[in-house]
Amino acid sequence: MNEKEFGQKLRPWLQRSADQVGELQATRLRASRLKAMENWREPVSLLGLVQVSGGTVQALRYTYLQRALLVLPVAALLAALALQSVTSDGDFGDLDAALLTQELPPDAYLDQDFRSWLHKSTRG
C-alpha cells in the first residue's frame, strides 16, 4: 500500500473524528496547521546525497550567519591588535622619522597654542 492509498483509507476515519471536534479545538487545530504550513520548506539535497528539510537548512544557515555577525567585529578587533603588536616598532620608526624631519621641530607639537589651533581647525 503506497502513501496515497493509505491516505484515502484513513480519510473517512479522520473525517468522522473531525465532525466530533468542538469549535475551540477546531480553531486550535487550524492555527497549528497554518503555523506548520508557514514553517514548511521544500526539502533540500545536501551535496546530492541526503534530503534534508528546508526548514532545518534555513535554521542552520541563520544560526551560522548570526554567529558570524556576532563574532566578526570581535575577530576584526583581535586581528587589528595582533597586527599592531607585530608592527608597532616599525610604525613608530616611520612616524618618528616623519615627525623629526618635517618643517616643524618636535617641540611645536607640544606647544599649547599650536595644539589649540589644531583642535579648532579639526573642528572647523
Partner 1 sequence: MAAQVHARLIAAAFALLLPLLAGAQGRDLKTPQTPWSNLPVEEQRILAPLSGEWDRMPGYQQKRLQSTARKYPGMQPIQRERFEERITDWATMSPNQRKEARETFQGLQKLPPDKQHELRERWLKKREATQPPPGNPPAAPPR
In the complex, which residues of this chain contact partner 1 (CB under 8 A)?
63, 66-67, 70-71, 74-75, 77-78, 81-82, 84-85, 88-90, 92-111, 113-115, 117-118, 121-122
Q: Which three cell numbers stand for residue 64?
A: 551560522
Q: Residue 103 CB, nearest distance to partner 1 (Å)?
A: 6
Q: Residue 10 CB, nearest distance to partner 1 (Å)?
A: 37
Q: Residue 16 CB, nearest distance to partner 1 (Å)?
A: 42
State CA 82 to chain mean position distance: 24
The residue type of 122 is T
User: In angstroms, rounded to a whole number, what is the distance separating the alpha carbons of residues 14 and 19?
Assistant: 9
* Residue closer to partner 1, measured from CB, 15 or 101: 101
Q: DSSP letter for 103, please.
A: S
Q: What is the DSSP string of 46-57?
A: ETTTEEE-HHHH
User: In angstroms, rounded to a whole number, what is the distance separating the alpha carbons of residues 34 and 42?
Assistant: 16
* Residue closer to partner 1, measured from CB, 11 or 67: 67
* Residue closer to partner 1, measured from CB, 23 or 103: 103
